[in-house]
Structure 1
């Protein structure tokens, strides 16, 4: 399992201590190793590819550069950090001890919390931007701009980067020697009563406040969009309202999934702060981690399912990256030409495979 800073609030002990124990080195059960490796590879692979696509299509498509999408790019980068710093190290850690050394322990821990906290900040900023854009449309012309969104994102990253610096001083590696080898782990260098207040501060700043604010603001947005429709509005205003509803539904789903997928981890941290010994069921710990990784991987799928613009933007790089598409097209077209040679060439329409919907353009 990955760096113990994501071990749900349960350190392995004093990180700076070296111990010697009799007996064999403990190992994870084989079924836990297999399930962990398969699911983490699947979730992280899909999540990394999806979030990279989000960043690329927004940055390379001019009409996609909007204030809302700027926050989605920030969220995608944060999710990439979580998948790379928390998800992938889990694969090596589940079959061996900590292999990244002291510097890796510090840096990976820092990046984990940076990505986790930035994702919460990005969702909060996105919620506020949507509220202003819909409920205060006149002010939005001044406040909801791309340049302002970029400045806000820069401030959020700077604040979170400075806030997370404390983790450089809270973790360390420890080594426990067994009769058949040594087990190295990355854990806390401080006692439980010192790091638990930090967890509760994180819980409040990056979970309770974002969700509380999102609940209130999306309630106000829903009242404007769904409960108080404007009578006899022009066609252009109806289209704009329909677009706002679509975007709002998509972002509300993102917030709901954020709340649900982080709930097992956050709840267990709170529960374990009052339990001695803490609850450490190995399958439930794995479930909590997978929920965290899934939260960082699922957003691009939501965008693709619920946004026409993202679907269209995703198709273009996929068509370029699909190397067999051209061969499929040529082969299919030649086959149709041979089997219908008696037809007029002017009436023939080449068959384009489903793998490449933009090949015909």
Structure 2
């Protein structure tokens, strides 16, 4: 039987650790479910997230009509999601490959814990702020169009707002960073028998786990992380309600004798609905983790445990998976909800393929066909809204 004991090491002091006997179990090891989730499901989410977000960034860069104020927010959100997925899932894979113990963070060390969780916290906060800013931008475009054209819709203002969102996220991450400045070490050893399959692992092992500088600071950090989420959720619900009301009101008041206005409104309303669905998906995916954090904080403060160990593990694993799904699903939502986005993806792909084919054709020519039959011709077309975009023929 594995004997497990705990003692708090004062930050870097790990010498002369005294272990106190306590009941241990195989729960310190990764079980089959953990291994399946970390080695199969998480990498699949990572691949989908990287492909989707990178493709979205490329499409917005290549297709000129996609360079809108709304897409500036969504581009920044895609970058945030990419960083979060790579760091968060990469950390889980690293821990699994480095140690057989679930809670062991010794491969990261104290500095690694601080850096990794600082990055994931910053990208989390930035995504909450960016989703809210995108909703505010659509609110003014639909409900306050004049003010949107004069102030909110200015590119310089949008860049400043995005920069401010990242700055506030950076400052909040610094504020809760001390929740990873401490550490706890668990001392492990074996008596007469060993767990199945672990007979030769760490004859006298230690598990290193990052914690807060004090227990209360960990609870404080959880509240700081949770409150902006619920505040943003309430704000977004109010914004979505007003947008939907405005859209329903304009259905009956649109001037049907002016096709250009009808088309422009249809495109704008479609983007608004897409952002509403995207926002709802965002908050639904993050809600399990935020509620879980509140419950754990309540348990810590009140010293009353309401979750069994099995429910704690299951809920925690599900909540983390939903966080990762949220960062991977946005480009899928864009394409499902908006014909404009689907068309932009097709345009970007066709342009890319044609450029490659024409480049190969032209590079194989002797130069006699310079009159233009095999050359790439770029046309500037004007949409009914006055935007220019490039097509390849």
Partner of 1:166: 175
**Alignment partner of 2:186: what SS?**
strand
- Measured after TM superposition, the shift of residue 24 of structure 1 is 8.1
Aligned partner of 2:322 in structure 1 is 291
Do the aligned partners of 2:9 and 2:185 also contact (CA within 8 Å) in 1? no
**2:188 matches 1:178:** yes
Give, in angstroms, the shift of residue 231 of structure 1.
4.7
| Greater Rg by CA | 2
- Give 1:194's aligned residue: 217
- Evaluate the alpha carbon distance shift between residue 182 and residue 197 of structure 1 in structure 2; reply closer, same or farther with a 3 A threshold: closer
Q: After TM superposition, list the pairs within 5 Å mapping 1:248-259 onto structure 2.
A: 248-259=272-283
CA contact (8 A) 2:84 2:120 kept: yes
Alignment counterpart, residue 287 of structure 2, candidates 233, 238, 263: 263
Partner of residue 83, structure 1: 85
Q: 2: CA distance between counterparts of 1:126 and 1:14?
A: 45
User: Are residues 27 and 153 of structure 1, via their aligned partners in 2, closer, same or farther at CA, if it must alter by over 3 Å?
Assistant: same
How many residue pairs get aligned? The number is 315
Q: Which residue of 1 aligns with 2:112?
A: 104
Tell me how far apart the structure 2 counterparts of residues 249 and 100 of structure 1 sit (CA, whole Å).
43
Match in the other structure for 1:61: 63
Query: What is the Cα deviation at residue 198 of structure 1?
Result: 3.0
The 3-state SS of whatever aligns with 1:186 is strand
1:79-136 Cα shifts (integer Å, max 9, x gaps): 1121122122112224523222222111111001001000000011001100111111
State which of 239, 256, 261 in structure 2 corresponds to 1:217.
239
How far residue 317 of structure 1 moved from its aligned partner, in angstroms, is: 5.7
Give SS of 1:277's match.
Answer: coil
Structure 1 match to 2:148: 140
2:185 and 2:349 mapped to 1: Cα distance? 46
TM, length-normalised to structure 2: 0.73
Gaps of 5+ in 1: 1-11, 327-359
Q: 1:168 to 1:15 in 2, by over 3 A?
A: farther
- Alpha-carbon spacing, 1:103–1:141, altered in 2? closer, same or farther (3 Å): same
Greater alpha carbon shift after TM alignment, 42-51 vs 112-121: 42-51
* 1:316 shift after superposition: 5.5
1:150 maps to what in 2?
Answer: 159
Q: Structure 1 residues 14 and 188, CA, compared in 2 at 3 Å: closer, same or farther? A: farther
Residues 25-81 of structure 1 deviation map (CA, whole Å, 9 limit, x = unaligned): 820212321223211001111112211222222233322111100000111111112
CA distance in 1, matches of 2:61, 2:8: 45
Q: Which moved more, 1:81-90 or 1:65-74?
A: 81-90
Segment drifting more, 310-319 vs 77-86: 310-319
Deviations 1:244-295 (A, max 9, x none): 2211111111111111111111111112222333634322211110000001
Q: Give the SS at the match of 2:298.
A: coil
- More off after superposition, 94-103 vs 64-73: 94-103
Q: 1:39 aligns with which of 24, 38, 41?
A: 41
Normalising by structure 1, we get a TM-score of: 0.79
Quote the offset at 1:13 in angstroms. 7.1
Deviations 1:130-188 (A, max 9, x none): 01111111111122122221111011111211221124433134432322322222332
TM-align CA RMSD: 2.8
Structure 1 residue 15: Cα displacement: 7.7
1:310 to partner: Cα distance: 2.5
Q: Secondary structure at the match of 1:170?
A: helix
Unmatched segments (≥5 aa) in structure 2: 1-6, 190-201, 358-391
Instruction: After superposing the two structures, state which structure 1 stretch, 181-190 or 151-160, moved more.
Output: 181-190
